Structure 1
């Protein structure tokens, strides 16, 4: 997410990308022109990693027995909350009830999606007035490019008459709204769609309903449920709490933009006794702190799997490893659906094409804060391990193939974002042109925008190389654009 670019040193200013030629397109140029014509690591002993894993070959126990006297506390945590929220009380209650700490993944899940007090559940956290800004909120062009990708995949699938278009974690619904507006002139495509929004927040569901300009359609006959129709393209829309609830049996196109980074992660830290899972505990003064588990935890199985996928030298140089068990499981679900029903998935997020070390962060009102400070008031996210996604998908079925990752700049450039921005600039005001240039740079640029003349603290920072794009497709469709 854009919030993460603050972590990196701003790279040297590059030449503005408007003058760069678009990369060669592997699908008909007429399709693009037609589409656009519409309006900190701690130090620990470096014992051999293999030995650490071999010591854990026994099946991990499903319960964690904790002797707090022997726990190592890697980070000092001195803040005190003057007024405890319901979520803080809940977290402390869980820890006290168990008689021991909870995993970082459990902490993240409660903080983000607790049914009563989760960060995503009862508020709008997106946009300039929220806690962070996502690519669809930056520019309409992002959603339009995703629409181009989805439509090209639909053509490669043989233009099926019915398709499930699924978005995971759709935020305000901005991406889908821009996608539908851009694709609305292609009736054969939009008429084939049934959109499924996988969203757990009631507040965001309502925002999505409004931003997609939905109306209720009542059909004749008793016992027939009403349908939600987006008037942007006359497409039926349904909401679900999980991907498993989306009906199967039809070809599927799945969009997962900035979805994986919010899935809970397990953190492991190298200690003298081997790899130990990082946990969240409370101390006598009732503040939260990080500790290390003295024995293997259930998530150790995922750590072992992840390390088998990596080179020994890649692991040996790390003191921390993050493993997203839910991300692996979600990828299994996606790959199985694509294998059985056909279609593909597009994943775009901030991450690495390799093992992720220590990336978990919290942001509140566009500023980084302590992860344990006032849980539920800040967003938590971590880098996405794209290599783990690849291996997780490939181990499910031989019928699916993974392509990428490539940078967001390569992805959007190959889909024709340069053509789109040029078309928009031909008929806009000076203020709109400035907004277009800023949005364009944020999507495909790198570092600070060289054309910026406003306040230094508001200089646009490009996400073009910090975000990666990956596709998982059924082999019957061939190689999707623009991964050829």
Structure 2
């Protein structure tokens, strides 16, 4: 960890810990699933990717069924969501044929996992050049380190599932001198510690913006505030692209529709650990401020509209997950049925209440109300389902 002769912001620490090319948490390992550090919705059940596929197909129809579309996934994890989406929509050949898949992934280790999940092969194109295609669906697939690298010019559908929560956050604390940024420093005995910046920092400008978006009552009760500058910048990029090229974006993540107080957490092997302990060995993530995403998108263009957030439970329910689980239960073993029901409740259940009482089992936590869904779309396409 490099210190430039002084403390660094929490955001710089987060970025270094997660994406340092040598030892960043995401860079050299598969961190997902039961053997990793955390489990995400596509790992819980195939139905999540299928429902996102339904949403994508409905948006494509509202876009006028274009013959060529960029389908972009930000931070695709193990590729499970995209694999389930492509499998689920393969029967709808016009939609399926229109897709050019773009995976925005900075980890070489995860790119390999995604390549395998999508059953990719190298193929020769009509113009004798070679490219990668997914044998699940026959679609061309390419990988990029950032959204800017995805080619412009085609209508674009962007999926950001559990991507925003890993973007680095700045933390501020209320003091007698006003809001001071929390920084990370090294103590005399070489341990990391939190300190407060004695002077205004560049991130303070963005804090001022977020405070203007919030109501005085919301701000009054807070002693800590977290802001995500990278989230605002990414949203600007997404909104610009949708405004220019047409299409839309779906954001699903855990967070709230308003200012976030102090949510940054570290998870190692499915357990919460100290944020400053053994950097690079645990995932760091923070709640997503959906209000700031909405304001950031709206300030870019009059040509886009923002819908939601609604809970993941409402989102998946409106797209028909109840009918899907019933259909799958018609044709499976008792063991598969148990797995389906568990997955279903994990996706739509309440994060506060256990779904079942098991003698020695870990109670699964419901994602249905803790996770929110939001859509940013080009206004020409009307309101996307199920946000009407």
Instruction: Flag whether TM exceeds 0.5 (same fold).
Output: yes
CA distance in structure 1 between the aligned counterparts of 2:359 and 2:55, rounded to whole angstroms: 36
Could you say which residue in structure 2 is the equivalent of 1:173? 79
Could you say which residue in structure 2 is the equivalent of 1:62? none
Could you say which residue in structure 2 is the equivalent of 1:445? 349
Could you say which residue in structure 2 is the equivalent of 1:108? 14
Could you say which residue in structure 1 is the equivalent of 2:187? 283
Could you say which residue in structure 1 is the equivalent of 2:97? 191
Question: Is 1:204–2:110 an aligned residue pair?
Answer: yes
Question: Is 1:294–2:198 an aligned residue pair?
Answer: yes
Question: CA 1:449 to 1:435, structure 2 compared with 1: closer, same or farther past 3 Å?
Answer: farther
Quick one: which of 327, 342, 346 aligns to 2:250? 346
Could you say which residue in structure 2 is the equivalent of 1:119? 25
Question: CA 1:221 to 1:160, structure 2 compared with 1: closer, same or farther past 3 Å?
Answer: closer
Question: Is 1:369–2:273 an aligned residue pair?
Answer: yes
CA deviation vs aligned residue, 1:121-160 (integer Å, no higher than 9, x gap) = 0000000000000000000000000000000000000000
Could you say which residue in structure 1 is the equivalent of 2:333? 429
Could you say which residue in structure 1 is the equivalent of 2:363? 459
Quick one: which of 244, 256, 264 aligns to 2:160? 256
CA deviation vs aligned residue, 1:303-342 (integer Å, no higher than 9, x gap) = 0111110111211110000010000000000000000000
Please, what TM-score do these two structures have when normalized by structure 1?
0.79
Question: CA 1:455 to 1:167, structure 2 compared with 1: closer, same or farther past 3 Å?
Answer: farther
CA distance in structure 1 between the aligned counterparts of 2:35 and 2:46, rounded to whole angstroms: 18
Quick one: which of 99, 114, 119 aligns to 1:213? 119
- Structure 2: give runs of 5+ residues left out of the alignment: none
CA distance in structure 2 between the aligned counterparts of 1:209 and 1:400, rounded to whole angstroms: 33
CA distance in structure 2 between the aligned counterparts of 1:478 and 1:208, rounded to whole angstroms: 33
CA distance in structure 2 between the aligned counterparts of 1:101 and 1:298, rounded to whole angstroms: 14
1:455 Cα deviation after fit? 4.1
Quick one: which of 437, 449, 469 aligns to 2:373? 469
CA distance in structure 2 between the aligned counterparts of 1:232 and 1:480, rounded to whole angstroms: 27
Q: How does 1:138-149 map to 2 (within 5 A)?
A: 138-149=44-55
Could you say which residue in structure 2 is the equivalent of 1:55? none
CA contact (8 A) 1:215 1:231 kept: yes
CA deviation vs aligned residue, 1:219-256 (integer Å, no higher than 9, x gap) = 3667x3x2110011111000000000000000000000
Question: CA 1:317 to 1:119, structure 2 compared with 1: closer, same or farther past 3 Å?
Answer: same
CA distance in structure 1 between the aligned counterparts of 2:43 and 2:265, rounded to whole angstroms: 21
Q: How does 1:24-173 map to 2 (within 5 A)?
A: 91=1, 94-95=2-3, 98-173=4-79
CA distance in structure 2 between the aligned counterparts of 1:281 and 1:460, rounded to whole angstroms: 37
Alignment RMSD, CA only? 1.0
CA distance in structure 1 between the aligned counterparts of 2:358 and 2:101, rounded to whole angstroms: 40
Secondary structure of the structure 2 residue equivalent to 1:349: strand
1:271 Cα deviation after fit? 1.1
CA distance in structure 2 between the aligned counterparts of 1:347 and 1:399, rounded to whole angstroms: 19
Secondary structure of the structure 2 residue equivalent to 1:414: helix
CA contact (8 A) 1:143 1:176 kept: yes
CA deviation vs aligned residue, 1:52-77 (integer Å, no higher than 9, x gap) = xxxxxxxxxxxxxxxxxxxxxxxxxx
Secondary structure of the structure 2 residue equivalent to 1:412: helix
CA distance in structure 2 between the aligned counterparts of 1:249 and 1:221, rounded to whole angstroms: 20
CA deviation vs aligned residue, 1:282-309 (integer Å, no higher than 9, x gap) = 0111000000000100101110111110
Q: How does 1:233-244 map to 2 (within 5 A)?
A: 233-244=137-148
Q: Which has the larger radius of gyration?
A: 1
Question: CA 1:341 to 1:220, structure 2 compared with 1: closer, same or farther past 3 Å?
Answer: closer
1:470 Cα deviation after fit? 0.2
Matched residue count = 387
Quick one: which of 308, 316, 337 aligns to 2:220? 316
Quick one: which of 316, 327, 331 aligns to 1:412? 316
CA distance in structure 2 between the aligned counterparts of 1:291 and 1:457, rounded to whole angstroms: 40
CA distance in structure 2 between the aligned counterparts of 1:313 and 1:140, rounded to whole angstroms: 42
Could you say which residue in structure 2 is the equivalent of 1:36? none
- Structure 1: give runs of 5+ residues left out of the alignment: 1-90
Q: Which has the higher contact order (CA 8 A, sep 6+)?
A: 1
CA deviation vs aligned residue, 1:72-115 (integer Å, no higher than 9, x gap) = xxxxxxxxxxxxxxxxxxx1xx21xx221000000000000011
